[in-house]
Structure 1
Amino acid sequence: MDTYTFATSRQIDFPVCVKINTLEGKQTTTPHTVLLKHPEIRHVGSVQNPHSELYVTAQLWAESKPLGVSMQTPHLFFKNNRTWNKWMELPVQIKDCPISSQIAITIWDISPCPETGSLDHAIPFGGTTISLFGKDGALRKGRQKCKVYRREAADGHSPTRTPHVPRPKRRKPNEPPPPIIAEEVELERLEQLFKKHEMNEIPQNDWLDQLVFQNVGKKAREVEEAARQRSSACKLPKRRAPITNGSNGQAIQDDESSSGSESDDEERFTLYIDFPRWDFPVIFEDFGYEPSRLMKEFSSNLSGSVLSPKPQPEVRYGPGIAAGTTVVDDEEYPIVQIFDPEQFQRENPCESKHRRLVRSDRNAFSDSDQKPNAKMRDELNEILSYGPTQELSAQDKDVIWTFRRHLSREKRALTKLVKATDFSNPNEARQLVELIPRWAKIDVDAALELLGPTYDNPVVRAYAVDRLRQAGDAELQLYLLQLVQALKFEKYEQTEEGLPSASLAKFLIDRAANNFILGNYLHWFLMVECVDQGTDTNAMNRRLFSRVEYYFMLELEKRNPDLRKILLRQGELITIISSISKDIRFSRTNRLQKIEMLKKTLADPKNDLLKIDPPIPLPLDPEVEICGVYPDEANVFKSSLSPLYLNFRVASAAEGSSASTQRSQTHGKYPIIFKTGDDLRQDQLVIQIITLMNNLLLKENLDLKLTPYRILATSPAAGAVQFIPSTPISAISTKYKGSVLAYLRANNPDVSGPLGVRKETMDTYIRSCAGYCVITYILGVGDRHLDNLLLQPSGHFFHIDFGFILGRDPKPFAPLIKLCKEMVEGLGGTASPQYAQFKQYCFTAYTTLRKSSSLVLNLFSLMVQSSVTDIRLMEEQMGMFGGAVGKVRERFNLDVSEEEAVRALDQVLADSVNAVFGVVIDRLHEFVQGWRA
């Protein structure tokens, strides 16, 4: 089949044109009695001569308003028929015409007797109105047949009184439908074929076409005559419509005369017109206006109770409103959409009134002892099972509020009650404040939800901060990145001295001042936000973070000045490394020269990097103290940003250091990668979530051998990454001919082990593959290729480079999980018992993480106003809780049961294994990287 092609009206930079062809019809003779009574009528052109000179005007209308001036045909002398064959160009471009555009065409007659001395001698002979676009939105083209309404000027209003195709008349309730005349149906079919013939859609044959035209014309006259006879036989005599003189249409013909003459309906005139013909259909396309400033402001400031904008209201014009005093049929009411700025800020007044009545003081005593019945308990349990991002309906809020005292023993219900409370009502706010101290103690993940952007009540936030005090320093470190972002939602007087004792900022400062590990990360998280000058940040937030950092430094000066000096020394270290990294990056030398330049700079005593005395905690990992750097082991990676490889000399490590820290320390060394020109905050967030998920899995005794290496953004355009000795899958594939299994056998041979690999190594590989497949699926990590999939000799598999998350991917048709054939080959293929065990680990990890989905969603909700690239993009596109949080919630599949969620994950794994396009992308990536090298 040929490709169906069309154009849009916005592409047609061409004026609206219409060709006036021929007027056909039989005009009745004016009776002599009328001429005797009104002798001036005999001088009207059409009364004197059935082929008198007429002229035509055409004007474009839309929404009952004229578009431009009317255009007119010249005066012509007709002999046998009224044929103009004149094109008229209207002063409006097709691209500027709305969908409701219609052309009002009026045929004007000449009267020598102007009314009240007017110089206008034109009276309407008849008029018709035709829409510019058809019902399907396509621009009309070719020959058109228009009914002419005698003695009426064309009506350009919506709906028009002079449509070119008459509307079917309404029947009375018991009136039978009009009979179907076979000849008229056949004639309509032939007219459609003639139109296709004119458009060259039907092959032409000149001698045969002439015969057909003659016979069809003869048949058309017979059908018209038969219709006229049936009309005369079936209808009662009508009064003839009066002839008017002047443009105002004042009647000058006697209505009582010629009561027995032919009706006006018998004067059937048809005007044939032409529209330009186009090679392809032209479809209407509306103009995309930018949203108004109010719309942008209200969309960006949606309250937390509104997860998605309400549909815009529809307004219908009533009878007599659409066009003057015209009564419009029900099915023809035009619908217009209006923008209501209050729909994003104010709720339905009826619902508000209902809520006030339900929650009024007169019901307060009855609510105090009210207990739900069995049916209501089921409804309450369903509401309490809602996720943190699910919206409560008005009925849900009323149910929660009614049984609020009964629910005070249920810790899950507090966040739902806060959502159900109308804080604009002082009575409701007071009752909530009285209930909170008596409520069952909530968990830390629920407390994180109360610190989000939708909760601004100071008592509620103070209670959430108080519940955070039950978390240990290690747990608090897992949430610290989000808690720093939650400082943006704090509301207190900035002029008061110090920080409120119940504020989140005061709590973080107190805990960080007592634990240097927390203090180290809090300091660097704040410093990055203080110097962020990005387009999506504002000065108010920078002042806020600077104020918190200032009070943190004051607190350290009071409690332990040595810790403050350590942070200052860390800042000097990062400043020196950043300066060296910039010089290397912008140096116009080759890579080998950059490496020599780096080694020489590190060995220079002026930079104080060769020996650091006394040792200081590494900002990336404060559990490790460094006392210098190894200049000879420094390197510059092959990349456009020229990242630096630095190997620090370790002085000591704290007891209880993390597994990743212990693995990274090889013979007293700690290697890192330092980047300049790249914002690492998104990678830092992903690693933090991976670390959190690893802890959640370990609590369930599920060790998936993950490698949550450390990342620290030291500024919006620089940062450090912990270096884990490993090999990319691409290099393994090249060296071992695409076999990961051969790599594992070479490093951990065991003839008695599974697939010839040591059992512990194969188990580590299976577990780590499953863990990263599930976590990268939940986080929507994209841009996966063989260069950012790494494998250690011990079997630890892990991902790096998280530049695309939340479902974003620069490659088309990317699978939801990166499970390439090299990874599957390392498991022994899809039919091996190792692959079955891999799938089982995936299902177990997925179901385990789904149980803690509220914690993950709450952490992402605290990041909705952060400068993380992909989160910011999602929030701009979809709004609060519809962007980043919505994407993560979608991957958890919380709307279905656990069994259905596991089946969905199984299908995703199967699709990823069989994805052909991913293999093509990997090969293309290898080719591009090889060409660059």
Structure 2
Amino acid sequence: MEEYSFANSSALDFPVNVRIGSLEGQYNPPPFSTLLQRPDLRHIGSNNSPISDLYVTAQLWADSKPLTVPVQTAYKHFKKTREWNEWLELPVSISTLPQSSQLAITVWDLSPTGGPGATGHAIPFGGTTIFLFDKDNTLQKGKQKCRLYRHKAADGFSSTTTPAVPPLRSHRDANGPSNGHIISPEEEELDRLEKLFKKHEMGEIPRVDWLDSLVFKAVEKKRQQVEASAKLSSRVRRKMSNSKRKAEDADGAQSTKSEAEDGEVESDEEEGERYTLLIDFPKFDFPVVFTDHEYAPPPISSQAHHAPPTGNVNLKPPPEVQLGPGINGTGNGIGDDDENAPPLIRIYDPEVGAKDNPAESKHRRLVRSHRTGVLDRDLKPNAKIRDELNTIMSYGPTQELNAEEKDLVWKFRHHLTRDKRALTKFVKSVAWHDQSEARQAVQLLPKWTEIDVDDALELLGPTFDNPAVRAYAVDRLRESDDDELLLYLLQLVQALKFEKISPESQDGNSQDSSLARFLITRATNNMMLGNFLHWYLMVECDDRSPDQIKEHRKLFAKVEYDFMAELMKVPGGPERRKTLLGQGELITVLSKISKEIRFSREDRPRKQQRLKKYLADPKNELTTFDPPLPLPLDPSVSIVGCYPEDALVFKSSLYPLLVHFKTSDGKKYPIIFKTGDDLRQDQLVIQVIALMDRLLRKENLDLKLSPYRILATSSNAGAVQFVPSMSLAAASAKYKGSILAYLRANNPDTSADLGVRPATMDTYVKSCAGYCVITYLLGVGDRHLDNLLLAPDGHFFHADFGYILGRDPKPFAPQMKLCKEMVEGMGSSTSPHYADFKSYCFTAYTTLRKSSNLILNLFSLMVDANIPDIKVEPQRVVEKVRERFHLEMTEEEAMRHFEGLIVDSVGSIFPVVIDTIHNMMQGLRA
């Protein structure tokens, strides 16, 4: 199928225009005998001159109703032919036109004595009506020939009597019903040629000048012959009709005034007096197809539709519904036996979902009567209600409260102020549209026991829009130190999207957002926070993809502007701003070099030589930095230059660059820089791994995790810390499939178990356990031996997080990656190190389950982030992570569940086949 393009009429914000061209037709002056009988006809302008002054009006109609007032042409004196050549603009846009729109065009004549259909001194010379959309729902364009109906004003009724293109009947159907105009074979051919001429004019038929001129002459000659023949046949028909009238009775020959007028029109047509009005519509590059405005679906009842439980449960049969006599309840139609009956349409009541239930609203007002506010202070729950409240307090951040639970929390709100877990449930229970209730809730917030950080992050999510509630959450974050705040900074920047910030305001530093004001204040006082806040904001400002709306870009640009303005006010702020500008220049130069090497058509060795040449070029100013520049990837490291001779270009489709920077203390800091890839998803995963590592360390569980640093510098570029390591695929190939041999070669100890230094084995076992648990919780996919890395000191870690939240390009992938090579490195599944590995897994899994609310709230703040695997199903992001925590299980059940994951992953055969195929493909690429 060939490609085609079209535009939607709803997107065409352009007024309706029509060009009134010329009037063509044969003029037959009335006979002298007629003028003697009708002396008023001699005063009509068109009866006195074939080029008398006429004017045209156009009006839009739809569904037999006028859409606009008539628009009129200017006065014009004709010399030889009646040609207006004037564009008329109607006061309505194409985007608002209904499908049934018609343009009613009337040509007006002048008569001082008036007449049928007269408007003042104007009488209708003729009218025509044309649809704006054709039978294919495409907007009419280009030149149109409209038949003019003499002595009739155009009507815009749905079944118009003045159609621009009347229904035609072939001469073969002349004996049928007398509807439409009978045309001869010659007229049929002329009609076909007319359509081809129109296509030729629109450019749909190629132009051949010498052939076109011959065709035009031949067609014009044929047209004259057909018109002469039609005129002759009309005279014959007129004589025959006159003879027939004379034979009729005198009484039957008389007619009424309206019949005489119709006879006058018919006689005009019989005399061959047919007029055609030529008009033009605007031409567009593409067809414009009618599209109606898409309204939002009607709101459905907010009551949850509970699916029936599965399993062998004894349920009562569903009630029998009687829809009435003759109505088929299956929805096939009205009437049980009639297959062609119309379908039974179910209509939703929009008020069910849009408005509160009046009974429930009345009940809520009675339960929460503000007259009992004083009494509520002294209310204390009994044992049963206390158990119900404890159950509500145990709910996770994703669980909604029903009406009864909300009323219960509100009733005992004063009692619950001593429970820090209850604040988020209380905020969800408040009817914020009730001003009195909202005022009471805001007054109660300062009396609440200090909440945890995870609850504060939940209050900054998209479902909480009350400024006082968000300000209270920000006040709780003020007590976090800079290191802890750095762990949540990525999510807090995304939470700015849910703040009420005016991007257009020029006065002050985002005074209408407590979160923005807090982040700017803390970032100006801490270099590390300021560095990452700057780059997080710059990446969002740089993102011009369709998924990043313009308002969000303006919002982040406003916060960045306010941050820079505030930075200039603090001591040392101007120097720090120069530092950030220097980092931007460094990233700009590296991005330019990376793109040139990536798109150069050279082999990898020549690309590598080109890279070294660029790094050593004094114009790029990369060999020496004076003063030292904090590295954007890790501001705690100051770099003074780079080592051009150590630069490398990796063998990959994007050709990442490996650049070694020289630190101020004389060490090397290697980074990988690449363009053409959005690293924000990898950045998110590394940030969550660092957070989980901190949570495990708080519980005295150090699993030797090594979350390397990643910084996205734009929406398609970024830097990654390079950690010297070897993939499991490379280690297996080098040491004949033995990871244990790799560890033994780098950390030999003949006196230790398995010949590996105990500290190295301990690091390997712990890091394997930590990454198995974390990658399972995050749903990291596309795991193969090339993105499982192992450092010489035993640190095991994952790389390349292109698939998360359960997505995986490989079929039948296990939920957790634990391959036989990893187990072999521990000594086998019967080794005590393997038992320690499982024990670390169980401990880490149960520990992280206790902090599930914090992790879920962090992901809830990322629902609007422009991250690939979050954009797939943003409404289910938090649910996907929550499912892997299995919070409905007890701790013992969770440990058994994770043990089953380990057994399934080790015993799975399909991942082994996938790894083998992957290695074969990598070998073919090499």
Q: Deviation at 1:829?
A: 1.2
1:793 equivalent in structure 2: 792
- Contact conserved, 1:400 with 1:416, CA < 8 A, in 2? yes
1:415 counterpart (419, 424, 442): 424
Distance change in 2, residues 1:467/1:308 (3 Å): farther
> 1:491-516 CA distances to partner (integer Å, 9 max, x unpaired)?
14555522227610010000000001
Distance change in 2, residues 1:326/1:674 (3 Å): closer
| Partner-residue secondary structure (3-state), 2:569 | helix
The CA distance in 2 between the partners of 1:335 and 1:374, in whole Å, is 52
* Aligned positions of 1:445-456 closer than 5 A: 445-456=454-465
Alignment-mate amino acid for residue 690 of structure 1: I
| Partner-residue secondary structure (3-state), 2:417 | helix
The CA distance in 2 between the partners of 1:465 and 1:551, in whole Å, is 18
Residues 1:593 and 2:606 aligned together: yes
Q: Deviation at 1:621?
A: 0.4
* Aligned positions of 1:417-816 closer than 5 A: 417-494=426-503, 496=505, 497-498=507-508, 499-500=510-511, 503-559=514-570, 560-652=573-665, 668-816=667-815
> 1:835-858 CA distances to partner (integer Å, 9 max, x unpaired)?
110000000001110111110000
Residues 1:907 and 2:900 aligned together: yes
The CA distance in 1 between the partners of 2:550 and 2:334, in whole Å, is 58
* Aligned positions of 1:105-120 closer than 5 A: none
> 1:300-331 CA distances to partner (integer Å, 9 max, x unpaired)?
xx9xxx8988899x9977425838999999xx
Distance change in 2, residues 1:852/1:363 (3 Å): same
The CA distance in 2 between the partners of 1:826 and 1:783, in whole Å, is 22
> 1:524-545 CA distances to partner (integer Å, 9 max, x unpaired)?
0000000101111110000000
Q: Deviation at 1:623?
A: 0.4
The CA distance in 2 between the partners of 1:291 and 1:687, in whole Å, is 47
| Partner-residue secondary structure (3-state), 2:845 | helix
Q: Deviation at 1:643?
A: 0.3
Runs of 5+ in structure 2 lacking a partner? 1-290, 309-318
- Contact conserved, 2:461 with 2:495, CA < 8 A, in 1? yes
1:404 equivalent in structure 2: 413
1:370 counterpart (379, 388, 410): 379
Moved more, 748-757 or 495-504: 495-504
1:859 equivalent in structure 2: 858
- Contact conserved, 2:503 with 2:554, CA < 8 A, in 1? no
1:892 equivalent in structure 2: 885
Alignment-mate amino acid for residue 552 of structure 1: F
Alignment-mate amino acid for residue 897 of structure 1: T
Q: Deviation at 1:346?
A: 4.3
Alignment-mate amino acid for residue 414 of structure 1: L
- Contact conserved, 2:500 with 2:513, CA < 8 A, in 1? no
The CA distance in 1 between the partners of 2:637 and 2:347, in whole Å, is 62
Q: Deviation at 1:344?
A: 5.5
The CA distance in 2 between the partners of 1:846 and 1:606, in whole Å, is 53
> 1:79-111 CA distances to partner (integer Å, 9 max, x unpaired)?
xxxxxxxxxxxxxxxxxxxxxxxxxxxxxxxxx
Residues 1:319 and 2:330 aligned together: no
The CA distance in 2 between the partners of 1:731 and 1:354, in whole Å, is 69
The CA distance in 2 between the partners of 1:680 and 1:291, in whole Å, is 40
| Partner-residue secondary structure (3-state), 2:658 | strand
- Contact conserved, 1:307 with 1:391, CA < 8 A, in 2? no
Distance change in 2, residues 1:857/1:554 (3 Å): same
| Partner-residue secondary structure (3-state), 1:770 | helix
Q: Deviation at 1:356?
A: 2.0
Distance change in 2, residues 1:485/1:345 (3 Å): farther
- Contact conserved, 1:827 with 1:835, CA < 8 A, in 2? yes
Alignment-mate amino acid for residue 812 of structure 1: P
* Aligned positions of 1:16-31 closer than 5 A: none
- Contact conserved, 1:585 with 1:641, CA < 8 A, in 2? yes
| Partner-residue secondary structure (3-state), 1:721 | strand
Q: Deviation at 1:357?
A: 1.9
The CA distance in 1 between the partners of 2:807 and 2:353, in whole Å, is 29
**TM-score relative to the length of structure 2:** 0.64
The CA distance in 2 between the partners of 1:858 and 1:771, in whole Å, is 22
Distance change in 2, residues 1:366/1:645 (3 Å): same
Alignment-mate amino acid for residue 541 of structure 1: H
The CA distance in 2 between the partners of 1:296 and 1:751, in whole Å, is 73
- Contact conserved, 1:602 with 1:610, CA < 8 A, in 2? yes
> 1:563-621 CA distances to partner (integer Å, 9 max, x unpaired)?
00100010000000000000010001111110000001111000000111111000000
* Aligned positions of 1:99-138 closer than 5 A: none
The CA distance in 2 between the partners of 1:467 and 1:431, in whole Å, is 20
| Partner-residue secondary structure (3-state), 2:511 | coil
- Contact conserved, 1:294 with 1:341, CA < 8 A, in 2? no
Moved more, 339-348 or 566-575: 339-348
Distance change in 2, residues 1:308/1:760 (3 Å): farther
The CA distance in 1 between the partners of 2:623 and 2:562, in whole Å, is 34
| Partner-residue secondary structure (3-state), 1:673 | strand
| Partner-residue secondary structure (3-state), 2:517 | helix
Runs of 5+ in structure 1 lacking a partner? 1-289, 653-666
Alignment-mate amino acid for residue 676 of structure 2: G
Alignment-mate amino acid for residue 728 of structure 2: I
| Partner-residue secondary structure (3-state), 1:674 | strand
Alignment-mate amino acid for residue 322 of structure 1: I
> 1:246-297 CA distances to partner (integer Å, 9 max, x unpaired)?
xxxxxxxxxxxxxxxxxxxxxxxxxxxxxxxxxxxxxxxxxxxx99955579
> 1:90-148 CA distances to partner (integer Å, 9 max, x unpaired)?
xxxxxxxxxxxxxxxxxxxxxxxxxxxxxxxxxxxxxxxxxxxxxxxxxxxxxxxxxxx
RMSD value over aligned CA atoms?
Answer: 2.8
> 1:358-407 CA distances to partner (integer Å, 9 max, x unpaired)?
11224333322111000100110110011111111111111101100110
The CA distance in 2 between the partners of 1:725 and 1:379, in whole Å, is 55
Distance change in 2, residues 1:702/1:714 (3 Å): same
| Partner-residue secondary structure (3-state), 1:773 | helix
Matched residue pairs, number?
Answer: 616
Alignment-mate amino acid for residue 770 of structure 2: G
**TM-score relative to the length of structure 1:** 0.63
Alignment-mate amino acid for residue 757 of structure 1: V
| Partner-residue secondary structure (3-state), 1:790 | strand
Alignment-mate amino acid for residue 674 of structure 2: K
Residues 1:817 and 2:816 aligned together: yes
> 1:446-493 CA distances to partner (integer Å, 9 max, x unpaired)?
111000000000100111111110000000000000000000000145
Alignment-mate amino acid for residue 707 of structure 2: P
Alignment-mate amino acid for residue 767 of structure 1: K
- Contact conserved, 1:320 with 1:326, CA < 8 A, in 2? no
The CA distance in 2 between the partners of 1:414 and 1:549, in whole Å, is 32
Q: Deviation at 1:414?
A: 0.7
Distance change in 2, residues 1:929/1:752 (3 Å): same
Alignment-mate amino acid for residue 898 of structure 2: L
* Aligned positions of 1:218-297 closer than 5 A: 293-295=294-296
> 1:138-165 CA distances to partner (integer Å, 9 max, x unpaired)?
xxxxxxxxxxxxxxxxxxxxxxxxxxxx
Alignment-mate amino acid for residue 538 of structure 2: M
